[in-house]
A = this chain, B = another copy of it.
């Protein structure tokens, strides 16, 4: 297994350098260490190979300070397992993506198949010369996870994965530390590291895809709750009189506006929508993507469907905004690609129904990271672990 920092000071220095190389003098400004102690810890990190010297900085008025940066040989893997796809990326120590591959894959085919594919995709990136040894891997899965144990926990759309030792298997396979989390939590970490939440300590990321979930960040860290299920908002109640949900209750948010609900509604409105009607006639059913395409073409029935869904999402979000008083709400996931019609409707409901004190300075935005939020979040998760004192 690769080396880890010896103490909390080294860990802090590594996390600062993850934001980019800088001079010893600048690092000294950000940590409360004497200059000699700082240099001692940096020299130790250079010995272990995690950090390297990088010439001299411009003068700040006195002697020029030595530049340091993370070793350019550091490599993290981010593995984002979705309901119907696997994304794999390799990053450097600063979590910049060096290579990213994606392949369709049904998560319900089980861990052997899906993790096998993830390993194949990683091998492809290795063959391209992107890495020889990984320093850690972060894995996201589309369901509840016992974070402490590194296993999925009774995940509804992942037959065969319940308590499967994902962390141990991946760690063994790659010969490096690994960690597993819910995919939505990883997306939130991705936004925290490289997205719109970079300067925000307390925020929510709402993922609207096949399922609907929420990543909660408190004080710059994922809040997971007591049994790891925090943020599982898909079955929050919109209306008792609403449609029956797969969970057995009625009127859950997902029953109104998950990927499956949207596909069902698309079929229902197809007779009134030239575009959807035509797609349906071609056979194979309809999907959320078809609704998005129809709306983009200005199809009124499709636009109305999105507005109705946005209102339901907005009603649930309005409550969460009053409760949590976040500094930012990011909307992400496949259905979020329905774009600005959806966003406008959500905003309208939240700004009308939440407390004015909670919405005064509250931006509600669409993610700009697209498919990379989860893989960057995976790299961030495992780098937080590798860059902590052992």
Which A residues form the contact surface with B (CB < 8 A)?
A: 144, 153-154, 202, 214, 216, 218-219, 223-233, 235-237, 239, 249, 315-316, 318-320, 322-327, 352-353, 355, 357-358, 360-362
Chain B residues within 8 Å of A353, by CB: 235, 237, 249
Given A225-B358, A358-B225, verify A323-B230 contact (CB < 8 Å).
yes
Pick the contact of A202 from B225, B316, B326, B352 — CB < 8 Å? Answer: B225
* Residues from chain B with Cβ under 8 Å of A218 in the complex: 218-219, 223
Set of chain B residues within 8 Å of A323, measured between Cβ atoms: 214, 216, 230-233, 236, 320, 323-324
A-B contact pairs, 17 of them (CB 8 A): A144-B357, A216-B323, A218-B218, A226-B326, A227-B325, A227-B358, A227-B360, A227-B361, A230-B323, A232-B323, A232-B355, A233-B319, A233-B322, A235-B353, A236-B318, A236-B323, A237-B319
B324 touches A225 (CB 8 A): yes
- Residues of B near A237 (CB, < 8 A) are 315, 318-319, 353
**Is B202 within 8 A of A357, CB to CB?**
no
Q: Check if A226 sits within 8 Å of B249, measured CB to CB.
A: no
Residue of B nearest to A229 (CB): B357
Cα A318 to Cα B218 with chains together (Å): 21
Q: A130 vs B315: C-alpha distance in the bound complex, in angstroms?
A: 51
A315 to B202, CA, bound (A): 25
Contact yes or no, A230 B144, CB < 8 A: no
Given A202-B226, A229-B355, CB of A236 within 8 Å of CB of B319: yes
Which chain B residue lies CB-closest to A252? Answer: B353
Complex interface: chain B residues within 8 A of A214 (CB): 323
Q: Which of B226, B233, B316, B357 contacts A227 (CB 8 A)?
A: B357
A144 / chain B contacts, CB cutoff of 8 Å:
357
Report the minimum CB–CB distance from A151 to chain B (whole Å): 13
Residues of B within 8 A of A320 (CB): 323
Residue of B at shortest CB range from A356? B154
Nearest CB in chain B to that of A251: its residue: B353
Closest chain-B Cβ to A371's Cβ sits at a distance in Å of 26
Given contacts A232-B355, A353-B237, A358-B232, contact A226 B322 (CB under 8 A): no
Contact B361 A325 (CB under 8 A): no
A239: chain B residues within 8 A (beta carbon)? 239
Query: Which residues of B sit under 8 angstroms from A315, Cβ to Cβ?
Result: 237
CB < 8 Å: which of B219, B229, B316 contacts A319? B316
5 cross-chain pairs, A with B, having the tightest CB-CB distances, nearest first: A225-B325, A230-B325, A226-B327, A229-B357, A236-B319
